[in-house]
């Protein structure tokens, strides 16, 4: 796996982990059902993206992939950071707020993830499916 692919995987895993930790930090302040709903919502949002990434990694086996052009790699990394930040900042602010609504957070996560996933889906498809042939 090259640096761009590893960076994309790392971005998604780190931001998912940050959100899960943020929700765990407030688990005592919300109802158990709300905590479970938050955890499942974030896992559902990230499931498609991580499925593409992890599926491609496991499907590649031991082949060596060609490195993508650097400008495409940086563009994909920046878009992935932007998408993840758009979701994560709200989760962190929820965990730090003295008053906030789980319902409002879920509405935000639903609408933001679906409206902005175009930022990353094309890049993930390119980096984790294109060039999946062994380098010659």
pLDDT tens for residues 5-63? Answer: 899 999 999 999 999 999 999 999 999 999 999 999 999 999 999 999 988 888 776 66
**Residues 117-126 pLDDT 10s:** 988 988 888 8
Angle at 84 between CA 76 and CA 132, to 5 degrees: 35
Task: Compute the distance between CA of residue 130 and CA of residue 124 in angstroms, rounded to an integer.
Answer: 9
Average pLDDT value for the chain? 88
**Two structure tokens written together for 70:** 């650097």
Domain 3-129 grouped into CATH 1.20.120: yes
What does the pLDDT read at residue 1? 57
Half-sphere exposure of 16 (CA within 13 A, CB side): 18
**Residues 61-79 pLDDT 10s:** 666 667 778 889 999 999 9
Query: Residue ranges per domain, the chain?
Result: 3-129
User: Exposed/middle/buried for 136, CB within 10 Å: 0-12, 13-18, 19+?
Assistant: exposed
């Amino acid at each position: 796996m090259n640096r761009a692919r590893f960076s994309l995987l790392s971005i998604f895993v780190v931001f998912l982990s940050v959100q899960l930790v943020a929700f765990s930090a407030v688990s005592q302040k919300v109802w158990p059902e709300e905590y479970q709903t938050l955890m499942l919502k974030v896992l559902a949002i990230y499931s498609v993206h991580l499925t593409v990434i992890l599926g491609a990694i496991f499907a590649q086996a031991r082949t060596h992939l060609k490195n993508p052009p650097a400008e495409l790699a940086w563009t994909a990394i920046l878009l992935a950071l932007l998408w993840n930040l758009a979701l994560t900042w709200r989760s962190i602010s929820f965990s730090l707020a003295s008053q906030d609504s789980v319902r409002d957070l879920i509405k935000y996560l639903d609408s933001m993830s679906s409206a902005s996933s175009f930022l990353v889906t094309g890049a993930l498809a390119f980096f984790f499916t294109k060039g999946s042939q062994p380098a010659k």
